[in-house]
Amino acid sequence: MERRKLIVYPLLTGILFYIIASTINLLFSNCDDVEASTQIQTKVEKEIEKPAPKPSERETFVEKLLSNFQMQYSLFKKSTLTDGKYIYTTGNYTIIFTIDPKLQEKVKKIFKTYKLKYGAYVALDPKTGKVLAAVSSIDYPDLTTKNTFPTASTFKIITAAAALEEGIATPDTNLLCGGKGDSCSPTVWLSSPYKMKRNFAQSFATSANPFFGNLGRLLGEEKLLEYAKKFGFNRHDYNFPWGIIRKPLDDNDLALTAAGLGETRTSPFHEALIALTIENNGTMLKPSLISTILKNGKVIYSFKPQIDRNVISSKTAQEIRKMMLLTVKVGTASDKRYFRVLKRRYPYLTIGGKTGTLSELTYPEGRCEWFTGFLELGNKKLAFSSLAINGSRYYVTGYDLSALVAMSFAKLYKNYRYTCRR
């Protein structure tokens, strides 16, 4: 009996020791797993708590620049002419602008030669939307972006586009209208018993107010405002100097607006963009001053044309283009001094546009004269606006300014037309 106890007790003791040891080991093993699990959880939580990556420099600078026209223009004004290009460097970035230095300098020379106190000239490439020239006056350097100038009769482009696009009229349409061509009274246009037949195309070329006042009444307020907005009036995007239009107060005010005598305001940049839309077969392109952006010498952005919107049909644009050519041939620009010289010296240059004249009541005050149009020399094209504001003393008219630039353009690219024929 005693012998059995001696054998069993050590055996039971060993088994018990093994069980206790295994249990302790298991407990410690579980603690390791828990600790490992806790470490993984803590690591995950730390990853979640990490702030989101900061936007790249392209997102904070380049994208901002490409979405802000006024920012582009402000940097361009700080640029310098280097190796035949306007360039501005900021930090790690080098910006090359779209401006054509030869054309820009020619325009600046004209402003200086004729001592144009208040004026502006803007030219765009109608095939791409690139800004090729942007020059402002001697005394007021920011007139290119000032969007409170009266559109005057250049607004007849919008009225004409709306009427043609909506089928209200064709270039051959005739209307019975009261008053002389330069009459500014809607009552006379609409109610005078003494009426004369006026033709659409001829009225556009000669800027006859009575025809467009009547046309505006036929078109109606809703459609006129719709097309004004299509051409960019009352837009606020891209920080671009879009034009402004006020809703007509009554039928007489509607007639005044349609003729370009109402509350419609615009900038030289916007006028040039309207001309681009006509020259580009009714499609508005996004205007840009940025050609290339480099970071530490590496190209990170190159310009590509962007369609902004399709404003009118190609057919309507072509019909308006023909009327703009008629303006120079037999209309309001035909008898201007420098237009006569232009046609005599450079008969191979194609130029068309729309004139507009109205008093500017905000600074700078005076007679506000527009020519909004296009130039063609072979495949070389410009869509542009020229503006001059003259008081009691005349320097050069806005119409003649456009003709002078056109002559410089013809000289600058005099061999281009021959190259295009090969």
Scanning 259-397, the segments in alpha helix (DSSP H) are 268-279, 314-329, 337-345
pLDDT tens for 52-73 read 445 455 568 999 999 999 999 9
Identify the pLDDT of residue 50: 46
Band (pLDDT 50/70/90 cuts) for residue 18 is low
- The radius of gyration of the chain's CA atoms, rounded to the nearest angstrom, is 35
CB atoms within 10 A of CB 342: 23
Pairing of strands 290-295, 93-97: antiparallel
**Protein fold of 100-287+309-421:** Beta-lactamase (3.40.710)
Scanning 298-368, the segments in alpha helix (DSSP H) are 314-329, 337-345
Identify the pLDDT of residue 415: 65
| CA-wise closest residue to 215 among 250, 247, 248, 186 | 186
- The answer, yes or no, to whether residue 383 has pLDDT greater than 80, is yes
SS3 content of the chain, % helix, strand, coil (to 5): 45, 25, 30
Helices 268-279 and 156-165 pack at an angle, to 10 degrees, of 30
- Let me know: does 152 contact 260? Beta carbons within 8 Å: yes
Helices 209-219 and 221-230 pack at an angle, to 10 degrees, of 100
How does the average pLDDT of the chain come out, rounded? 87
CB atoms within 10 A of CB 62: 18
**Residue 59: DSSP 8-state:** I
Identify the pLDDT of residue 401: 96
- For residue 265, what are the contacts with CB-CB under 8 A and spacing of at least 6? 147, 148, 149, 150, 151, 243, 244, 245
Identify the pLDDT of residue 140: 78
pLDDT tens for 338-368 read 999 999 999 999 999 999 999 876 778 888 9
Identify the pLDDT of residue 395: 77
Sign of the alpha-carbon dihedral angle for 104, 109, 112, 114? negative
Q: How far apart are CA 371 and CA 259, in angstroms?
A: 16
Q: Where are the domains of the chain?
A: 1-50, 100-287+309-421
Q: How far apart are CA 264 and CA 149, in angstroms?
A: 8
pLDDT tens for 66-123 read 999 999 999 999 999 999 999 999 889 999 999 999 999 999 999 999 989 899 999 9
Q: How far apart are CA 413 and CA 422, in angstroms?
A: 16
pLDDT tens for 281-332 read 999 999 999 999 999 999 999 999 999 999 999 999 999 999 999 999 999 9
Identify the pLDDT of residue 58: 54
- The answer, yes or no, to whether residue 31 has pLDDT greater than 70, is no
pLDDT tens for 395-412 read 788 999 999 999 999 999
pLDDT tens for 206-235 read 999 999 999 999 999 999 999 999 999 999
